[in-house]
Amino acid sequence: MISSIVIVGGNDRMATRYKDICNMWGCKAKVFTQMPADFDNKLGSPDLMVVFTNTCSHKMLSTVNRHSQKLDIPVERVHSAGVSALKDVLTRTTGVSY
């Protein structure tokens, strides 16, 4: 069961929409569209990380990879940063569709 998700990348204007979609699946979400200070510590230990690779910097991606390997967190990499891409990931990982 996935209860917490970290989304890295995506569009600034879509951040609240990403959170709303995750709430539909019963998940709490943290969204990082830009790299904040102390990014590694802010990632926490979610059940799943979703990376929108077309809108994510190389430095953010390498931090996510390092963090996920250290804590054995699954990472879903998606090229598109759209709503349907996030819904597809959530459907695939949880087995529930809306």
Taking residues 22-43, what's their average pLDDT?
95
Q: What's the confidence (pLDDT) of residue 37? A: 94
Q: What is the 3-state secondary structure (H, E, C) of the chain?
A: CCCEEEEECCCHHHHHHHHHHHHHCCCEEEEECCCCCCHHHHCCCCCEEEEEHHHCCHHHHHHHHHHHHHHCCCEEEECCCCHHHHHHHHHHHHCCCC
Q: Please give the structure tokens belonging to residue 5.
A: 């998700």
Please report whether residue 91 resides in a domain: no
d(C-alpha 67, C-alpha 18), whole Å: 22
Q: Average pLDDT over the chain, rounded to whole? A: 95
CATH code of 28's domain: 3.40.50.10700
**Phi, psi dihedral angles at 74 (to 5 degrees):** -65, 145
Q: What is the residue range of 66's domain?
A: 4-79
The domain total for the chain is: 1
Q: What's the confidence (pLDDT) of residue 98? A: 80
- pLDDT exceeds 90 at position 61: yes
- pLDDT exceeds 90 at position 96: no
Output the pTM of the full model.
0.94
